Amino acid sequence: MSAALNSDFIRQVPKTDLHLHLDGSLRLETLIELAREQKVELPSATPAGLRELVFKDRYADLPDYLRGFAYTCAVLRTAEALERAAFELAEDNLAEGVRYIEVRFAPQLHCDRDLSAKDVISAVARGLDRAKARHNAAPAVRGGEDLPFEFGIIVCALRSFNARMSPYYRRLLDVLRTAPRKEAFAVASLEMARAAVDLRDREGLPIVGFDLAGEEAGYPAADHRAAYQYAHSHFLKKTVHAGEAYGPESIFQAITECHANRIGHGTFLFAREMVRDPEIPDPERYVHRLAEYIASERITLEVCLTSNLQTAPEIPRAEDHPLRRMIENEMSVSICTDNRLVSHTTVTRELELVVRHLAPTPHQFRNLILAGFKGSFYPGVYRDKRAYVRRVIERYERLEREYGLAGKAEP
């Protein structure tokens, strides 16, 4: 690791996490405690056992990685559990210097007969608000020495689901039992988009974006076009999991069919060998133009290094991750955790991996940090966002001077 860009500096700088799944980021001890209270059976009742059996260092593929969500979602079906998980997640981020997060989850996964989508989102918002109030009341924040904590909520639709995943999906599939399965997926997405807009506008909930998560192969984003058009027409920002386990065409579809403002992962953006459409005569040119469009439009890529290393056998080492090429192409890239529990990581650890294995210059590292703040779906008005980013930059520049980095960044 660079002597200047050391672990202490990384811990001190203000950070963001724009790609952060609530149900993938519980404290392991909390998962065990909630499972015991709610009589949810786990493969092991100890942290070590769960690390060995479920939340591993390496996974066979994305479906294997997603297996642990069956347990985390099962314990997040009460308002109290959701509020606690959100509060603890915010506290964990604050402890490592993260000052802005966007927490995403699929409310329909947590709905039950006594818990509506509004109840789910309200509970998460209460937990995040509680952590925010505690931090922002601190003397260091009130005196301007530390940055205030801010957050937004991103609601997720799922590319696919089955009846076992939640009571909501079971009821929906029963109602639409004679319809093609992809029609049910589209109906659920549109219903979630409508609910997100309504809860933002009528209830004032801090919903800042709409997302589509789940397996890409066989479940194209275009099937959810109506939901994204509704979000787009109602000024709700949009991100899409794309290019995580599929090629550049998935990213292209997210941008052209779903009006994506950001891309979740984008791992295989440059993989011209994964272009499958025979109508694309020159995959290399196609990939080049797609990358240039993303760079020039400042469509932020939410890169989750550890998560990708755990689920993509094509990327055996951090040095092989396309993040290096993204940085060299001066793209807007924000470093994220994806799932703090499932990937056993933190924002600080992700940034340390970047510095250790990809050796960004001080200027490039600064851009990675600021991209998270600039590319955020900040819940306030644009003028407030600009003021907040300016405070971040001032704080970052003070730390650069303190750690001897001032003047080392390229213009």
pLDDT digits (tens, 9 = 90+) for 173-187: 999 999 999 999 999
Mean pLDDT over residues 38-57, rounded?
94
Phi, psi of 244, deg, nearest 5: -85, -40
Say if CB 224 and CB 187 are below 8 A apart.
Answer: no
Query: Which amino acid would we find at residue 140?
Result: A
Instruction: Give the three-class secondary structure for 237.
Output: strand
What does the pLDDT average to over 344-362?
A: 97
- pLDDT tens-digit map of 213-270: 988 889 999 999 999 999 999 999 999 999 998 899 999 999 999 999 999 999 999 9
Q: Which residues contact 408 (CB under 8 A, 6 or more apart)?
A: 4, 361, 362, 363, 400
Residue 411 has pLDDT above 50, yes or no: no
Q: How confident is the model at residue 3 (pLDDT cuts 50, 70, 90)?
A: low
Average pLDDT, rounded, for the chain: 95
d(CA 247, CA 290) in angstroms, rounded, equals 12
Question: Per-domain residue ranges for the chain?
Answer: 7-402
pLDDT of residue 183: 96
| Residue in the block written with tokens 């015991």 | 36
C-beta separation of 332 from 371 below 8 A = yes
Runs of H (alpha helix) within 204-332: 225-233, 248-258, 283-296, 305-311, 323-328
Among residues 150, 216, 244, 400, the one annotated as catalytic is 244
Asked about 244 being catalytic, the answer comes back as: yes
218: left (phi over 0), alpha (psi -120 to 50) or beta: left
Distance between CA atoms of residues 149 and 134, nearest Å: 10
Specify the CATH number of the domain 7-402: 3.20.20.140
**DSSP SS3 for 243:** coil
Say if residue 283's pLDDT is above 80. Answer: yes
> What pTM does this model have?
0.96
